[in-house]
Amino acid sequence: MKLSYISGSTIPSSKANSVHVVKMCQALGRLPDMDIVLYGKQGKPADNPYAFYGVKENFKLVRSPLGSTQYLSGLSRLASLFFKIGLIPAPQVFYGRDIIGLYLLSFANEPVFYEAHQVPKGKIQRSLTRRLLKKKAFKGLVVISEGLKEDFLNSFPDYKGPVLVAHDGADVTERNPKGIPAKDWPGRKDAKQIGYTGSLHKGRGMEIIMSVARLLPEMDFHVVGGTSSDLKYWEGQNPPANLYMHGSRPHSQINAYLAKFDVVLAPYQETIKIGTGADISRWISPMKLFEYMAAGKAIIASDLPVLREILSHGRNATLVPPADTNRWVEAICHVGKSSALRHAMGLEGEKDIQDIYSWNKRAAKVREFIQTQTGVD
């Protein structure tokens, strides 16, 4: 199968959408008889974008340097796509997350599949989505959670076509990979190490992390992620001495940080806003959860319906009310003091990744969905 993955993501970038598309293309490229080309936007120069993400060069990467604003970049990507696609054999399938590019490419009458991570907002996005769903070339919708499926279909009730729910994933990783060297680690040797990886946008729970760090001075808390403006803001909030802000790191380094943590946190709040103003709390399928599970870590997460699609309290995670600081403190103390509990939870998470949520499993599920709807091998 020749598949062109149409992405609006900047490559390379530490943002989750960029990591997601690269990991998926690697996983699709591992499958037999798959020829994958990923189209994205040119990010800051990197010696090797594949090395930035820690992935194999088993798919082709084409990056457009054109465009900077949302709609101009969409049109520029399209122009670049037609130019590039004119130089290589036409794909059998267009797949991706860039609604503008996918809609315009649907006029080529090759099968088109759209992977949605949120319900489209704004007149242009909604109009193009509505039109794409009605196109003869459109063959199927992929979403990342049951909550998103429900809200998407409610927003576009005329769509009666096939829908695949495919949660995010993670690579099956080596148990206890080499961590950050002790000389470079700011945590105390005799303190439990509590970690969080990911963005610091509103609703991710940074307020909870800072509060519990103040209440548990005997433990060290580490936050890996955040833009320079995020770090400046939180460093101005008088953080406690046991809270370490590591900033953004290339995705290839995340496992080395996870290896240092005894407990990992996912303190999502009941409202999670993104740049468009949309509340994505019913739709998320956070990659960090799957990476935590793949690393065999004990997870403490917010008790939200969308997270219960993945996590089971007392089995592969401990779930607590999102905004109840005292319950977070109790959970961290309870899990932190029991190595047996942490080990058992970690094993369950690893097993779930191997059996259900690896990128390879997700890629195979998506390919089967495409084959079922198109007959393309």
pLDDT, one tens digit per residue, over 46-85 is: 678 999 898 999 999 988 765 334 444 455 455 545 545 5
Q: How much is the pLDDT for 55?
A: 93
Lookup: tokens for 233: 């803001």
Q: How much is the pLDDT for 338?
A: 97
Query: Coil, helix or strand for 74?
Result: helix
CATH 3.30.300.30 fits 182-356, yes or no: no
For 41, phi then psi, to 5°, come to: -95, 145
Lookup: tokens for 160: 């009666």
As a whole number of angstroms, the distance between CA 216 and CA 241 comes to 11
pTM of the model: 0.89
277: buried, middle or exposed (CB in 10 Å: 19+, 13-18, 0-12)? exposed
Average pLDDT, the chain: 90
Q: How much is the pLDDT for 321?
A: 98
For the segment(s) 2-169+358-374, the CATH number from 3.40.50.2000, 3.40.50.300, 3.30.565.10, 1.25.40.10 is: 3.40.50.2000
CATH 3.40.50.2000 residue ranges in the chain?
Answer: 2-169+358-374, 182-356
The residue-averaged pLDDT of 145-158 equals 97
